[in-house]
Amino acid sequence: MKCLYRSIVTAASLAALLMMTACDWSSGSQENFNLSGGSSNINVSGFYEGNTTGGRVVANTSNGNIVSIVIQQSGNRVEVTDNQGSTYSGSLGSPLNTLSGGTATSGTVVSSFQISFSGKDGVAAKDINFTGVLTIVAVSDIDAVTSTNTNDNGGSSTTTTNTNSVIEPTEPDDEGSGTITDSTSTATNTTTDSTTSTSTYSLTGPTTQLRLQGTWVEVGGVVSNVSAIGPPAVGNISILIN
């Protein structure tokens, strides 16, 4: 299964995602993430195994081999523990909306999150800064449930007419008499019903797979790429489609 999804996220798309700024929510709130035109309550906690050469999570370190990590998510905060016992803390950015409704077919990127964390690799004896992307990839077709909401605004219109009378003097110095001219203006205000549709993807069971990619920076040491395959994503993604 690892090989099947190795090419889902290209280097170009990863670079583009990494350029986007993550929201630094330090409160650890359990509220839903916000995405443009929708919402998400996805949880990315679980066990991630290495997908680089030699089955490592981090391709190269100053010392030791990081072959797996465990991510624990609470709200937008994450705690990461590697197989060597080192721990790191960080946060998830807001999810990026990559779908517009309909069916998410196998191999489709459902959504992506920027993730960053830092800590100390006790085996390499180096402080670590990591920035990367967690991508949700469909491994089977996922149908969205679409709901429609109509706001009743009355469906009525109101027309307002204003008439102003102006006296134009017949003589230049005579302001009290003359020809009366009417000036009329009309304005119409119309209210109509508004309708919105929302597509919701429910991610349960083995319908998706999480993919972690990014850059591992040892302060005063090596810089290496990260690639790991994780568990299914769990939760819901709702997208406003009109």
| Residue 70 shares a structural domain with residue 181 | no
Mean pLDDT over 83-111 rounds to: 84
| Residue 21 shares a structural domain with residue 135 | yes
Does the pLDDT at position 69 exceed 80? yes
Instruction: Work out the pLDDT band at 108, boundaries 50, 70, 90.
Output: confident
User: pLDDT value at position 148?
Assistant: 76
User: pLDDT value at position 32?
Assistant: 45
| Residue 174 shares a structural domain with residue 234 | no
User: In whole angstroms, what is the distance from residue 31 CA to residue 206 CA?
Assistant: 25
Which one has a higher pLDDT value, 94 or 206? 206
Q: Does some domain include residue 152?
A: no
| Residue 81 shares a structural domain with residue 185 | no
User: pLDDT value at position 132?
Assistant: 96
Q: Say which residues have a Cβ less than 8 Å from residue 110's Cβ, sequence separation at least 6.
A: 98, 99, 104, 136, 137, 138, 142, 201, 203, 208, 233, 237
Closest by alpha carbon to 201, among 77, 95, 46?
Answer: 95
**Of all residues in the chain, what percent carry a pLDDT higher than 70?**
63
The count of domains in the chain is: 2
Mean pLDDT over 14-20 rounds to: 37
Q: What is the pLDDT of residues 151-187, one digit of tens each?
A: 665 556 666 666 665 555 556 555 555 555 656 666 6
| Residue 50 shares a structural domain with residue 129 | yes
| Residue 22 shares a structural domain with residue 83 | yes
Q: Does some domain include residue 28?
A: yes
Mean pLDDT over 11-32 rounds to: 35
User: In whole angstroms, what is the distance from residue 59 CA to residue 54 CA?
Assistant: 8
Q: Is 181 helix (H, G, I), strand (E, B) or coil?
A: strand
Task: Give pTM, 2 decimals.
Answer: 0.67
User: pLDDT value at position 17?
Assistant: 37
Q: Does some domain include residue 151?
A: no
| Residue 62 shares a structural domain with residue 178 | no
Closest by alpha carbon to 57, among 200, 176, 213, 189?
Answer: 213
Q: Which residue segment(s) compose the domain that 181 sits in?
A: 157-190
Q: What tokens appear for 160 in the block?
A: 């307002």
Asked whether the CA dihedral 238, 132, 2, 67 is positive or negative, the reply is negative
